[in-house]
Structure 1
Amino acid sequence: SGLRALGMGDVIDGAEVGRALALHGADVLNVWRPGELEHDVTYITANVGVRSATISPYESAGAGLLRSLLRDADVFYANRRPGYLDKIGFSAEEAAAVRPGIIHATASLNGQQGPWADRVGFDQSAGSLVGMMHLEGDGVRPALPPILVVNDYIVSWLMAAGIVEALARRARDGGSYRVHVSLTRAALWILGLGVFDKTYATEVAGRGEEHEYLDPETFTADTPLGRYQGVTDQVHMSATPGRYRTVLVPRGSSRPEWL
């Protein structure tokens, strides 16, 4: 409660950070550039709970507005291509200079160091790099998994968990913090947990009611974009149950200001 999160998140792994923070009480404002594209289905699933504004970071008025929003924020999160935040003056160091105490959280394909740090990619790029798509295929032709993505949601949850830990440290010790998650490293971690044996699953296990998938818990709400049905967080906090102040708004429709 009372925390403000300014985002430049898109698609899933960035936008879902805002959704996670909003569920637990933060005022979340995600910023889009004029003319920026986003898939409609991705937007309405990943931006639940998030207010949405349009600001150009390349114009002096827009850049000044972004800095004023950052000055009053607790968290900044983004999943933009390598070098973009440096270009518009929103690196971790620059953000901390504008707002001492900021939690600066980002995601990238291959991390911030190493020979592939400047490569651009997304969920399926990481899955291909570490061999996930090969495992999903038949050994010759790679394939996408049934849910299409392999780690976007996990990366966003790891970012959100890192933000919460950083906020706790800031409350105790003060300071500004940087959180960064690599999609490729997360994909490697997932493989490190073990590979599911498809033959065993189809021939031995998974038979009978006790092995059936449970239907997800859902909620519905009337929004400016129509009646929305989505899944809940699936994890119940007994002392601090989550709820959304805002459910869904049209992209770019919110005023660029804090509640």
Structure 2
Amino acid sequence: MNPLEGLIVLDFSQFLSGPSAALRLADLGARVIKIERPDTGDSCRQLSLHNLISDGDSVLFHTINRNKESYAANLKDLADLTKVIKLIEQADVMIENFRPGTMDKLGLGYEQVKQINPKIVYGSISGYGKEGPWKNKPGQDLLVQSLSGLAYLNGNADQPPVPFALAAADMFTGAHLVQGILACLVRRGRTGIGGLVEVSLLESLLDFQFEVLTTYLNDGGQAPERSSINNAHAYLGAPYGIYETQDGYLALAMGSVIRLGELLSCPALAAYGDPKSWFLERDAIKRLLVEHLQTQTTQHWLNVLEPADYWCADVFTWEKLLAHEGFQALEMVHEITRPGSESLLTTRCPLRINGIRPHSTKWAPSLGENNAELEQEFKLVKVNG
């Protein structure tokens, strides 16, 4: 039995942050019912990555909406809204990620829903919080990365701000929402009281930077300085970074520069015996490493460093990663298939419960696929007889 088996989650959200949270709850055993607009549904159905479409919906939609059911309802239509309210009466969790005030206008804000179902745990995602001058700005991932300062941590010192090449804000926010929902479910199990969990994309990215922001706040407002060479962490000294070798790349994490020089047979590094210089002179140290590491292959350096327990790694492409037995042992890829369409390979839940990874091959639903059965099961319409 999965931990959340028997719980009902209503997922009103769209795109990535909210649906990713609902996906994790589904992986843990909850029954997730996706509430979508008729005709168009979740806008993510048409938001394709690299133009990949499967059975009329984007592969991105399939990726974050597998293992769910779909109920199509027009929340501005009284008859449909009445049906959705009946679902809310029987639900355990509700998730939404619209702009602040949208759900209140529909009669489905937390205070209104709490009157319908006092035990419900209500998860709400916004872009920048529900107060302040930014509350109505579009909560889009790249925009939030830009405002959060995160982009100034990536790239070398002579480069412009560099964003993460994926939806970091959405993913972290979805994970934070799950944490809050699970905490409220634990409390509800003890007290019978539901609760409201609020997270925002901006706050999640600020939390993601807690390490470097704390350093900044306690260092007299000294801004982080990106390394000019192979930057990988604005506040860490050499050798931290990724270096080109004769045939690929090598990642070097924290470690003694003196010990590294001995292992690599690079006597020039001996000039940096003071650990303070590893940050103050990190670009000079990195220049020496850039030149030296290109003289041999990645595997040559790994054969030297790994036996000495010096923190290092090869830098894999996805092709090389997927072919490696270390990746294959994790069994992180599985196949899902929507009836009548091609199968889709995607990642699995990264958690294990009692040594077992939650597993489901249930496809992402087509729009309104489950309307009829849900209306019968939850008595959303009058049943003959």
> What TM-score does the superposition give when structure 1 sets the normalisation length?
0.89
**Counterpart secondary structure, 1:202:** strand
- Identity, % of aligned pairs? 24
Contact between 1:12 and 1:153, CA under 8 Å: does it hold in 2?
Answer: yes
**Counterpart secondary structure, 1:95:** helix
For 1:80-99, what aligned pairs fall within 5 Å after superposition? 80-99=98-117
Distance (Å, rounded) in 2 between the aligned partners of 1:245 and 1:83: 36
For 1:169-208, what aligned pairs fall within 5 Å after superposition? 169-194=187-212, 196-197=232-233, 200-203=240-243, 205=252, 208=302
Distance (Å, rounded) in 2 between the aligned partners of 1:133 and 1:253: 40
Q: Give 1:113 shift.
A: 2.2
Q: Give 1:24 shift.
A: 1.2
Q: Which moved more, 1:174-183 or 1:189-198?
A: 189-198
Aligned partner of 2:360 in structure 1 is 244
Aligned partner of 2:336 in structure 1 is 221
Contact between 2:153 and 2:233, CA under 8 Å: does it hold in 1?
Answer: no
Once the two structures are superposed, residues 67-98 of structure 1 have per-residue CA deviations (whole angstroms, 9 ceiling, x without a partner) of 01111100000111121101111111111101
Aligned partner of 1:66 in structure 2 is 84
Higher relative contact order (Cα pairs below 8 Å, separated by 6+ residues): 1
Asked if 1:133 corresponds to 2:248, the answer is: no
Contact between 2:337 and 2:361, CA under 8 Å: does it hold in 1?
Answer: no
**Counterpart secondary structure, 1:193:** helix
Distance (Å, rounded) in 1 between the aligned partners of 2:168 and 2:357: 28
Say which one has the larger Rg: 2
Q: Could you tell me which amino acid in structure 1 is paired with residue 362 of structure 2?
A: T
Contact between 1:74 and 1:102, CA under 8 Å: does it hold in 2?
Answer: yes
Q: Could you tell me which amino acid in structure 2 is paired with residue 27 of structure 1?
A: R
Q: Which moved more, 1:239-248 or 1:37-46?
A: 239-248
Q: Could you tell me which amino acid in structure 1 is paired with residue 13 of structure 2?
A: G
Aligned partner of 1:122 in structure 2 is 140
Aligned partner of 2:186 in structure 1 is 168
Distance (Å, rounded) in 2 between the aligned partners of 1:118 and 1:15: 21
Distance (Å, rounded) in 2 between the aligned partners of 1:121 and 1:168: 29
Q: Give 1:240 shift.
A: 6.6
Aligned partner of 2:247 in structure 1 is none
> What TM-score does the superposition give when structure 2 sets the normalisation length?
0.62
Asked if 1:231 corresponds to 2:271, the answer is: no
Unaligned 5+ runs, structure 2: 48-57, 213-223, 225-231, 244-250, 254-297, 307-311, 317-325, 379-385
Distance (Å, rounded) in 1 between the aligned partners of 2:336 and 2:194: 37
Once the two structures are superposed, residues 163-208 of structure 1 have per-residue CA deviations (whole angstroms, 9 ceiling, x without a partner) of 1111110010111200011110111111223484288312461663
Distance (Å, rounded) in 1 between the aligned partners of 2:14 and 2:198: 16
**Counterpart secondary structure, 2:371:** coil
Unaligned 5+ runs, structure 1: none
Contact between 1:49 and 1:247, CA under 8 Å: does it hold in 2?
Answer: yes
Distance (Å, rounded) in 2 between the aligned partners of 1:142 and 1:241: 38
**Counterpart secondary structure, 1:211:** strand
Q: Give 1:233 shift.
A: 1.7
Q: Give 1:137 shift.
A: 5.0
Q: Could you tell me which amino acid in structure 2 is paired with residue 142 of structure 1?
A: P
Q: Give 1:241 shift.
A: 4.1
Off by >4 Å, runs of 4+ in structure 1: 137-140
Distance (Å, rounded) in 1 between the aligned partners of 2:162 and 2:241: 19
Report the count of equivalent residues: 258
For 1:154-165, what aligned pairs fall within 5 Å after superposition? 154-165=172-183
Distance (Å, rounded) in 2 between the aligned partners of 1:240 and 1:170: 26
1:41 pairs with one of 38, 43, 59 = 59
Distance (Å, rounded) in 1 between the aligned partners of 2:159 and 2:28: 45
Asked if 1:211 corresponds to 2:247, the answer is: no
Distance (Å, rounded) in 2 between the aligned partners of 1:249 and 1:21: 16
Distance (Å, rounded) in 2 between the aligned partners of 1:125 and 1:251: 29
Q: Could you tell me which amino acid in structure 1 is paired with residue 334 of structure 2?
A: F
Q: Give 1:10 shift.
A: 0.9
Contact between 1:151 and 1:186, CA under 8 Å: does it hold in 2?
Answer: yes
Distance (Å, rounded) in 2 between the aligned partners of 1:237 and 1:193: 29
Q: Give 1:99 shift.
A: 0.9
Q: Which moved more, 1:188-197 or 1:153-162?
A: 188-197
Distance (Å, rounded) in 2 between the aligned partners of 1:181 and 1:245: 29
Aligned partner of 2:290 in structure 1 is none
Once the two structures are superposed, residues 114-149 of structure 1 have per-residue CA deviations (whole angstroms, 9 ceiling, x without a partner) of 232232212222111112233335655333323x22
Distance (Å, rounded) in 2 between the aligned partners of 1:176 and 1:249: 29
Asked if 1:10 corresponds to 2:112, the answer is: no
Aligned partner of 2:268 in structure 1 is none
